C-alpha cells in the first residue's frame, strides 16, 4: 500500500467510528462543494436583486450554510434557529419544540431556510408554519440532502442538493449522538446489529 500523506492521515482520524460502528462514503467533499455552487447560482437567479436572509437550522446546517453563503453573490445575511423533536415517539409524533428563536424580525424579507436533511418532513412543516405567520416577503427552503422515501407529510424543498436513499448518514454537519459533524464528507453509518 502506498504511504499516506500527512493530510490524508489527519483526514482519516477526523471522526473515528466507535466500537462496531462502520462508515461508508456516500458524498465526497468536492462533490458537495460543486453542488453547493450550483444551488447558490439557482437561488441568486430566482432572486437577482433581493437581499437574502439565510436561516440556518442548528446544528446540522452550520457547515452547509457556511459554504452556501460564500457562493451567493450580493447581499446575504444569516440567522439561526434551533428545534428539537419531542414526545413519546419523536420520529413520528411531529411534535417539535423551538429551542432557540431567530434574533430579528423576518417581516417583508426574503428568507431561505437552510436545513441539513429532509427526512419525515415534520420538522420543516412546523418551522414553515411558524415562519409563515411572521409575514416574510418570500419563504423558500434549501436542503443539502433529501430522503424522499421517508416523507410523512407533503412538505417539499425548493432547492435540494442530493436525493439520497433511506440510510442513516453522518458528516458535513450531520451527527450521530453529536459525533461525526466534523467529517468533510457525507457517510453512511451502520450501527451495531444492522446488517445493511
**Residues near Mg ion (CB under 5 A):** 60
66-105 mask for ligand IMP (x: CB under 6 A)? ----------------------------------------
Partners of 85 in beta bridges: 96
Which of Mg ion, ligand IMP, none has residue 65 at its interface (CB below 5 to 8 Å by kind)? none
Strands (DSSP E) found in the chain:
22-27, 52-58, 76-85, 96-100, 110-118, 138-146, 159-163, 169-170, 186-190
Q: With contact defined as beta carbons under 8 Å apart, do 85 and 122 qualify?
A: yes
In the set 116, 119, 146, 185, the catalytic residue is 119
Strand ranges of the sheet holding 169-170, from the earlier edge strand across to the other edge: 22-27, 186-190, 169-170
146 binds ligand IMP (CB under 6 A): no
Residue 119 annotated in active site: yes
60 binds ligand IMP (CB under 6 A): yes
CB 62 to Mg ion: min, Å? 10
120 binds ligand IMP (CB under 6 A): yes
Partners of 111 in beta bridges: 53, 139
**Dist. CA 135–CA 88, nearest whole Å:** 32
Q: Who contacts 3 (Cβ-Cβ below 8 Å, separation ≥6)?
A: none
CB 143 to Mg ion: min, Å? 10
Which of Mg ion, ligand IMP, none has residue 169 at its interface (CB below 5 to 8 Å by kind)? ligand IMP
Q: Give the one residue of 43, 54, 102, 119 binding ligand IMP; rule: CB under 6 A.
A: 119
169 binds ligand IMP (CB under 6 A): yes
Question: Do strands 169-170 and 110-118 pair parallel, antiparallel, or not at all (unpaired)?
Answer: unpaired
- Residue ranges in contact with ligand IMP by CB under 6 A: 60, 115-124, 168-170, 174
Amino acid at each position: 500500500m502506498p504511504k499516506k500523506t500527512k493530510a490524508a492521515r489527519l483526514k482519516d482520524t477526523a471522526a473515528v467510528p466507535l466500537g462496531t460502528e462502520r462508515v461508508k462514503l456516500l458524498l465526497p467533499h468536492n462533490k458537495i462543494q460543486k453542488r453547493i455552487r450550483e444551488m447558490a447560482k439557482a437561488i441568486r437567479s430566482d432572486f437577482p436583486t433581493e437581499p437574502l436572509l439565510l436561516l440556518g437550522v442548528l446544528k446540522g446546517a452550520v457547515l452547509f450554510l457556511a459554504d452556501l453563503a460564500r457562493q451567493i453573490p450580493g447581499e446575504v445575511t444569516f440567522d439561526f434557529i434551533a428545534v428539537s423533536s419531542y414526545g413519546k415517539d419523536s420520529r413520528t409524533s411531529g411534535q417539535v419544540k423551538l429551542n432557540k428563536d431567530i434574533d430579528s424580525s423576518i417581516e417583508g424579507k426574503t428568507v431561505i431556510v437552510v436545513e441539513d436533511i429532509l427526512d419525515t418532513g415534520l420538522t420543516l412543516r412546523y418551522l414553515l408554519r411558524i415562519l409563515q405567520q411572521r409575514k416574510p416577503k418570500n419563504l423558500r427552503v434549501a436542503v443539502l440532502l433529501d430522503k424522499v422515501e421517508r416523507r410523512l407529510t407533503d412538505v417539499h424543498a425548493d432547492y435540494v442538493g442530493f436525493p439520497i436513499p433511506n440510510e442513516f448518514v453522518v458528516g458535513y454537519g450531520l451527527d450521530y449522538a453529536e459525533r461525526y459533524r466534523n467529517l468533510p464528507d457525507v457517510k453512511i453509518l451502520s450501527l451495531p446489529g444492522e446488517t445493511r
